[in-house]
Structure 1
Amino acid sequence: MKREVLFPKLSTKTDQGVITEWLKPVGSKVAIGEILYEVETEKAVHEVEALFAGQVVDVKVSIGDEVFVDDVLAVMEVEG
C-alpha cells in the first residue's frame, strides 16, 4: 500500500520551510524514527523522522524547494 509523507507542523509559528537534504532517496528502506530529510525554517534546521516504515518510491520535492504544512513530500510503499 502506498502512503504519502506530508510536511508536518514543526511548531505553532512554523508553517513553511525549505528542504535542505534528503537522507533517504528513492529505493531506500526506512524504519519508524529514522531521519528522512532536513528542512530549514526561519529559526533552525530540523531533522524530520519517518512516522511509518516502508520503502521510498517517489520524492515529490527537491533540495531547495519551499514546502508548506501538509504538502506531499514523498510517497512510501508500506506493508499492510
Structure 2
Amino acid sequence: MTTHVRMPALGETMDEGKIVRWVKQIGDRVEAGEILLEVESDKATLEVESTFSGYLRAILHAEGEDVPAGEPIALMTPTVDEPLTE
C-alpha cells in the first residue's frame, strides 16, 4: 500500500514550508524515526522524521519548493518493488 508523506504543519501559524534538503533519496530504506528531510518555516529550519518504515519511492516536490501544509510531498511503500497506488 502506498503511503503519502505530507508537508507537516510545524507550528500553529505555518501555512506552508520550504523543502530545504531531502536527507533520504528515492529507493532508500527509511525506518520510523529517521530524518527524511529538512523543512524551513517562517521561524526555523527543522528536521522532519518519518512516521513509518518503508521505502522512499517518489519525491513529489523538489528542494527549494514552497509546499502548503498537508500536501503530499513524497510516496513510500512497505517494500521496494510494490506498485505505487493513489
For Structure 1 versus Structure 2, the TM-score category normalised by the shorter chain is: over 0.9
Distance 2:66 2:59 in 1: 14
Select the structure that is richer in strand. Answer: 1
- Report matched runs for 1:1-80 at 5 Å: 1-78=1-78
Q: Which amino acid aligns with 1:72?
A: P
Instruction: Give the TM-score normalised by structure 1.
Output: 0.94
What does the per-residue CA deviation read over 1:29-52, in whole Å, with 9 as the maximum and x for residues that have no partner?
Answer: 000010000011110001000011
Distance 2:49 2:15 in 1: 17
- The percent of aligned pairs where both chains have the same amino acid is 37
> Runs of 5+ in structure 2 lacking a partner?
80-86
What does the per-residue CA deviation read over 1:13-37, in whole Å, with 9 as the maximum and x for residues that have no partner?
Answer: 1121110100011000000010000
Task: Report the aligned-residue RMSD.
Answer: 0.9
How many pairs were matched up? 79
Task: Could you list the structure 1 runs, at least 4 aligned residues long, displaced by more than 2 angstroms after superposition.
Answer: none
